[in-house]
Structure 1
Amino acid sequence: MKRLVPLAIVLAVLTCGNLRAQIDESPLKLEPVVAFPNLKWTGWQPESDDGKAAPLRPILVTNAGDGSKRIFVPQQQGIIHSFKEDSKESTVFLDMSKKVVYIDKENEEGFLGMAFHPKFKTNGEFFVFYTTQEKPHTTVVSRFKVSKDDPNKADPNSEEQLIVETHPYWNHKGGTICFGPDGFLYIALGDGGAGNDPHGNGQNLQTLLGKILRIDVDKKDPGLNYSIPKDNPFVNRFAGKLPIAKPEIYAYGLRNVWRMSFDSQTGVLWAADVGQNLWEEINLIQKGGNYGWNLREAKHEFAPNSTSAASPGLIEPIWEYNHDIGKSITGGNVYRGKKFPELVGHYIYADYVSGRIWALKYDEAKKAVVANRTIPYTGAALPIMSFGEDEAGEIYFTIVSQTGKGVYTFQKTK
């Protein structure tokens, strides 16, 4: 007797030749739940002084990797909170609100990224990505140090700016910064904003916009507060005496990477790139890779700059979905925690507009996605801004919240 394939297993035709694979789309027996329902955010009030709503905007979740088990949650307005799982009230680790520009009508600016040095426990260094009040639409990547007197406070006077980049428009800032297993700092910058990449930044190697950068923060080249790794793909590219590429560039052809992360086990860099007209995409980032924007959107030609989806040299995403499903991807992490064995090895991501959440499994040997399972939620759609992890590798995500309950995790269902 032939075995029937469960309805939850769908037969998908992959675009690579005639390869066919079964993709598991069965719902997982998990659901979102508020992670810290009783936590008080120090200094935050749901209304401003003039009586206007002031929702909490927790822009990411991260940890220091120093054994302290602290969780760090910055607000998009520039205040970094820290707390432990059983804390009743957060501690303000650093208040940058007077340096950071954030306004609701230009809500892709503000405090956008934070990463702790791999040796934070001994050197006390961490890094931030924000848009500055000093100049319109300008992003800054800076180094800070922890206070010498209080390990729960950063030294606000320790800022050292590394990269300052002006963007032509307010949207598409990117903003993720994270350390790779090589110890270098990776930085995602959007294409500069507006629609269609009007300045052609994605394919222009003479600008940092529309790129993922890679720098060494432990050394300094002449005139820089960092150094360029010697094996960066575009080091020493010249036409005569003129450089034809920025040496900080690691990968390019990206529109607006909204969250990238390294798999803590394999070291693979995952990046979710927000689409424009029709397609959202997930990429595995390779050194020197060209991911196609604005020649194409995900695997598809993009007019008026269209090129064949199979153009030589362009790296295709491992996964895409169209705007019937969701309209703004939020990238997450490959889960390596212990609470949810069914998630191990899966990339957890979501869509900001539709509120859908998925766990995607990529088979490296087959070079194919083998599962894209939903994590159901019966409440109102959750506009998920970011994912993150604690020291144990357990996963969290954040939403804009008028009640202060803006950090979620998952729990098992029957």
Structure 2
Amino acid sequence: MIKVNLRPLVGNINLPTILKTTILPGDSTERLFIATQVGEIFYIGNGVIETFLDIRPRILELGTSAGGYDERGLLGLAFHPEFYYNGLFYLHYSVAGTQGPGAFPEPFKPNPCDPSTLNLKWTNRETQYNHIDTVEEWILQSNAQPQKRRTLLNLRRPFLNHNGVNSLNFSPETGKLILTTGDGGAGYDPFNLSQDDMEIAGKIIEIDVGINTFNDDPPVVTRFDELPVTFQETLTVIAKGVRNIPGISFQRYYNGYIKYVGNVGQDLVESIFSFVDYRPIPVTDLIQSSLMRTELALEGFINLGWRGWEGAFPTSIIDFCSADPTMSEKINAYYDEAINTSVKRLLPLTSYFHKDPRPDKFGATALTGVHPYMGNEIPDLTGSVVFTDLARNEGSPPPVRGVLAYTKFNTDCKLQDFDVIEIDYDFGSNSAFFVSLGTNLDQTRLYLGVYGSMKVADHNQGTIFEIVP
């Protein structure tokens, strides 16, 4: 078993959802940037924490429903590959003043005996939505506060949850900005947005920020075909079938890169997918084939399988047995869709389970980060893919503990096993939800964001650690 320590870097901050490093213009040292869900961005410089940007007034009021739990807020931060020279960076967040009633008044669960629950449509989208998310380009000019330059996308979202997190990352292969969007939320993807090629929800999207740079302030949309053509031209789609996703990460592999994405599960399993080759499809081609009612050649297009599949399993509804609470019945939620997507989908690299009887594993809650580790300080981890889970789900009494684990990339397309990383750190009587994982530019260091609560209203309970031998 691999054992690690945690070295505290900074404490008393709000929910640290994103951990990134970059070199500031005119600087020579790589800095760790911490973005919080409530809208602050800090960086650590010379041992002190500095404020880079505070957009709290731009972010909608968080924690007003669901008992203080929230998945909206500041969701993405990415620095342009040429940030040192051009000062450009990108934000994805939930916009203040855009709160709507939501697409449903009640929680949703499909009923295989009631076809009406399997074929729902999101109607009245202009009024029946939860909030609006925006993707913006900002610039840091010398000796000045960062300024917003333009808006790249405005997305109307049906529900409070599944908006993605760490949702903006630049591809070292293409130089394009990658946006990872969740399926819109509720549970079980009630409108099947993730498999609909026209829906922006439930996709991995590339944005070419270097073309049509006059684009600004697009209309608020939910579908690609609602965007003006100049915005459509900047977008390609890498993947669909996404439920909710903590970003995308890259690991150099010969002349290319392995891409890793995690898909947060419903009731059974959390999954990590990997791929090297892929064929992104221009949004203009998707729209053209939709208008012409023709089938696109989708060879090389990635499909993670949701909502028919939850990782390596057909998506199931769990009915608990009243006679014996330890037993439960798993009922296939979307049988026809599981068949239709069975041969089109990518198989996961590894999956880990909400309930796992094996003594050396753990019961999962939700995947919160996936990163390759290329450093030498923890030699047993070198070349591995490290991932974090929010909290052990084992019915044990508080305090809560998150989990670190790892797996290895393989080329034989078989499902890999994973191993838990033992953490030699005393959190005391405090809960420790593992909410984010980050790495430096050359992936030789790993950073962990830990929070003492899952309520956004519980302020200043966050600590950032470096994972050390």
When normalised by structure 2's length, the TM-score is 0.68
Q: Does 1:35 align with 2:8?
A: yes
Q: Distance in 1 between matches of 2:384 and 2:449?
A: 19
Which residue does the alignment assign to 2:168? 177
The CA deviation string for residues 124-155 of structure 1, in whole angstroms up to 9 with x for no partner, is 101111111142221111111003215xxx42
Task: Give matches, 1:158-307, under 5 Å.
Answer: 158-175=148-165, 176-181=167-172, 182-220=174-212, 248-264=236-252, 266-285=256-275, 286-287=278-279, 288-302=301-315, 303-306=332-335, 307=338
Contact residue 18 and residue 438 of structure 2 kept, 8 A: yes
Contact residue 19 and residue 33 of structure 2 kept, 8 A: yes
Shift of 1:341: 2.5
Contact residue 301 and residue 309 of structure 1 kept, 8 A: no
Q: Does 1:56 align with 2:11?
A: no
Contact residue 116 and residue 127 of structure 1 kept, 8 A: yes
Shift of 1:331: 2.3
For 1:358, the aligned partner's letter is A
Which residue does the alignment assign to 1:397? 448
Q: Distance in 2 between matches of 1:309 and 1:373?
A: 33
Q: Does 1:333 align with 2:377?
A: no
**Structure 1 residues 348, 121: CA separation in 2 closer, same or farther (over 3 Å shift)?**
same
Which residue does the alignment assign to 1:101? 60
Q: Does 1:80 align with 2:37?
A: no
Shift of 1:160: 1.3
Classify the secondary structure of the residue corresponding to 2:153.
strand
Which residue does the alignment assign to 1:321? 352
Q: Distance in 2 between matches of 1:76 and 1:94?
A: 13
For 2:302, the aligned partner's letter is G
For 1:178, the aligned partner's letter is N
Q: Distance in 1 between matches of 2:196 and 2:267?
A: 21
The CA deviation string for residues 290-348 of structure 1, in whole angstroms up to 9 with x for no partner, is 11111111111123322249822111111111211202112221012242222221111
Which residue does the alignment assign to 2:320? none
Classify the secondary structure of the residue corresponding to 2:84.
helix
Shift of 1:75: 1.3
For 1:250, the aligned partner's letter is I
Contact residue 178 and residue 185 of structure 1 kept, 8 A: yes
Classify the secondary structure of the residue corresponding to 1:375.
strand
Match of 2:29 among 62, 68, 71: 68
Residues matched between the structures, number: 348
% of aligned pairs identical? Answer: 24
Which residue does the alignment assign to 2:465? 408
Classify the secondary structure of the residue corresponding to 1:108.
coil
Shift of 1:405: 5.4
**Structure 1 residues 297, 370: CA separation in 2 closer, same or farther (over 3 Å shift)?**
closer
Classify the secondary structure of the residue corresponding to 1:60.
strand
Q: Distance in 2 between matches of 1:119 and 1:202?
A: 32
Q: Distance in 2 between matches of 1:188 and 1:351?
A: 19
Match of 2:408 among 357, 361, 364: 361
**Structure 1 residues 164, 248: CA separation in 2 closer, same or farther (over 3 Å shift)?**
farther
Classify the secondary structure of the residue corresponding to 2:386.
strand
Q: Distance in 1 between matches of 2:419 and 2:148?
A: 44
Q: Distance in 2 between matches of 1:91 and 1:245?
A: 38
Which residue does the alignment assign to 2:78? 115
Q: Distance in 1 between matches of 2:440 and 2:234?
A: 34
Shift of 1:248: 3.3
Contact residue 34 and residue 406 of structure 1 kept, 8 A: no
**Structure 1 residues 119, 203: CA separation in 2 closer, same or farther (over 3 Å shift)?**
same
Shift of 1:224: 6.1
**Structure 1 residues 198, 220: CA separation in 2 closer, same or farther (over 3 Å shift)?**
same
**Structure 1 residues 405, 294: CA separation in 2 closer, same or farther (over 3 Å shift)?**
closer
Shift of 1:371: 5.9
Q: Does 1:387 align with 2:433?
A: no
For 1:141, the aligned partner's letter is V
Q: Does 1:373 align with 2:419?
A: yes
Which residue does the alignment assign to 2:139? 145
Structure 2 unmatched ranges of 5 or more: 100-130, 219-223, 226-231, 280-300, 316-331, 356-362, 393-401, 453-458
**Structure 1 residues 79, 224: CA separation in 2 closer, same or farther (over 3 Å shift)?**
closer
Q: Distance in 2 between matches of 1:61 and 1:410?
A: 13
**Structure 1 residues 272, 400: CA separation in 2 closer, same or farther (over 3 Å shift)?**
same
